Amino acid sequence: MRKSRRGVEDRWTKADGTPSANHGTGMRWRARYVDDRGGEHAKGFAKKQEANRWLDQQTAALVAGKHVTPRDARTTVSEWSATWLAGYGSKRASTVAVAKAHLLHIDAEFGHMTLSEIRPSQIRSWLSALRTAGLSDHYISAIHGRLSQILDDAMHDNLLGANPCSRRTSPPVGKQKLYCATDEQVWALHDAMPEHLQVAILLGAFVGLRIGEAVGLRVCDVDFMRGIVLPVQQPGGAPLKTEGSSAPIPIPKELALMLSASVQRFGGETMVTNGYRRSCSQRRLQEVVVDARERVDGLPETFTFHDLRHYFASMLIASGADIKTVQARLRHASATTTLDTYSHLWPDADESTRTAVGNVIAARMEGTG
């Protein structure tokens, strides 16, 4: 006779009618089912009604494709985070470091809980506490996104039936506060840098390179005659942030001459050196920028090398460059990214429409006057 794939049976009574070894445990009813992988699962209950309810829940989860085995259901957030991070290690070191920082916040709140214990209400309360602690909306949104990511992956691994993160728990995205230095501040920063590192300021402020791209830029990646900078790698030959990051960047002949002069004096294989024709590390460049900013009036304590890229964008926008041009020079994957970051720098649209309408009305009045 084929054995049933599910059912509830009396645990106290053996087939011959004698009491079983379970007598006295309080768990009279045993619910049993076989999952879609052939694994058998059972659980004891004091009441038959409870056993049937649990069995129905497990069956419904199987039908919906959301079944989690009882053993996997005991996986804690901390345990899964460690497993997830191990599989995430193939990413760039900087990307992994950001993920680790997010997981510190997640594990501090939910690490002791099983994956299925997290509730949307708990997530909302946690995000509110992070905001009270002083974290920015932008960073809180990133942490929430990371939690949703690891829980989605837990579902893919059949460790979780449903992700409690959703649009209802999602916090306001917020925007990073940008600081756009003035022309005077950029040149003051340039002059405050050691001479062999002044070229890095030129690459950040007038080419728009990220710090990793600037440090990884080789002399052979610059066409001084045609005025083209072509980023290819980050330090140590690591790939660029995105595929679009390798797009060529045109530079004026004046800048090409300044870059060439730096190569003549300090250049080795890379454009940015340690002063002895060897490559400069990303960490060292950032430290020198932080030290130099102390000698520039008005630069905030939060100013970093990346803010030179914001200066580059603001300079292009102020000169009348359109969205697609700025996107191309910053090598953003889409114009949406450019708009999300720099839309506030474009001229006021209200004033532009007032002028357009005003010109038409003025022409009409002149014709009938």
353 located within any domain: no
190 located within any domain: yes
Work out the pLDDT band at 14, boundaries 50, 70, 90. Answer: very low
One domain for residues 56 and 144:
no
Using left for φ > 0, alpha for ψ between -120 and 50, and beta otherwise, residue 208 falls in left
CA distance 253 to 270: 20
Work out the pLDDT band at 334, boundaries 50, 70, 90. Answer: confident
One domain for residues 246 and 190:
yes
One domain for residues 200 and 61:
no
Work out the pLDDT band at 210, boundaries 50, 70, 90. Answer: very high
Q: Give me the mean pLDDT over the 240-244 stretch.
A: 76
Work out the pLDDT band at 65, boundaries 50, 70, 90. Answer: low
One domain for residues 232 and 327:
yes
CA distance 85 to 94: 13
Residue 321, phi then psi, degrees to nearest 5: -65, 140
Is residue 355 pLDDT above 90, yes or no? no
Q: What is the CATH number of the domain that holds 223?
A: 1.10.443.10
One domain for residues 304 and 230:
yes
Nearest to 58 by CA among 5, 118, 120, 117: 5
358 located within any domain: no
231 located within any domain: yes
- For residue 99, what is the DSSP state? H
Contacting residues for 175 by C-beta, under 8 A, at least 6 apart: 137, 138, 340, 341
The last residue of a domain, from among 20, 40, 67: 67
Beta-bridge partners for 218: 270
Range with the poorest average pLDDT among 112-126, 151-165, 272-286, 302-316: 151-165
DSSP-derived secondary structure for 132-166? HTT--HHHHHHHHHHHHHHHHHHHHTTS-SS-S-S
Residue 363, phi then psi, degrees to nearest 5: -65, -40
Q: Give me the mean pLDDT over the 219-247 stretch.
A: 87
Here the contacts of 296-299 (C-beta below 8 Å, separation 24 or greater) are 296/185, 296/188, 296/189, 296/192, 297/185, 297/188, 298/182, 298/185, 299/179, 299/181, 299/185, 299/189
The residue written with tokens 């490559």 in the block is 279
pLDDT at position 17 is 44
163 located within any domain: no
Question: Quick check: 29 and 45 in contact, CB under 8 A?
Answer: yes
Question: Quick check: 272 and 217 in contact, CB under 8 A?
Answer: yes
What pLDDT digit, counting tens, does each position of 185-204 carry?
Answer: 999 999 999 999 999 999 99
The residue written with tokens 């809180």 in the block is 140
One domain for residues 211 and 315:
yes
pLDDT at position 189 is 96
One domain for residues 272 and 336:
yes
**Buried-state track 14-29, b at ≥16 Cβ within 10 A, e below 16:** eeeeeeeebeeeeebb
HSE-CB at 110 with a 13 A cutoff on CA atoms is 31
One domain for residues 233 and 148:
no
Q: Give me the mean pLDDT over the 287-296 stretch.
A: 94
pLDDT at position 3 is 46
What pLDDT digit, counting tens, does each position of 32-64 carry?
Answer: 777 666 667 777 778 888 877 877 777 766 666
| Summary mean pLDDT of the chain | 83
60 located within any domain: yes
Q: How far from chain centre, in Å, is Cα 108? A: 19
Question: Quick check: 212 and 234 in contact, CB under 8 A?
Answer: yes
The last residue of a domain, from among 20, 46, 67: 67
One domain for residues 197 and 306:
yes
pLDDT at position 218 is 94
pTM, two decimals, is 0.60
Is residue 1 pLDDT above 60, yes or no? no
Q: Give me the mean pLDDT over the 273-285 stretch.
A: 92
Nearest to 311 by CA among 181, 178, 184: 181
Domain count, the chain: 3
The last residue of a domain, from among 41, 67, 93: 67
pLDDT at position 192 is 96
Tokens of 310: 């914001």
352 located within any domain: no
One domain for residues 89 and 51:
no
Q: Which of 172-186, 301-315, 344-358 has the highest average model confidence (pLDDT)?
A: 301-315
Nearest to 53 by CA among 29, 75, 76: 29
pLDDT at position 208 is 94
125 located within any domain: yes
Work out the pLDDT band at 2, boundaries 50, 70, 90. Answer: very low
One domain for residues 202 and 223:
yes
Which domain, by its residues, includes 312? 183-345
One domain for residues 209 and 273:
yes
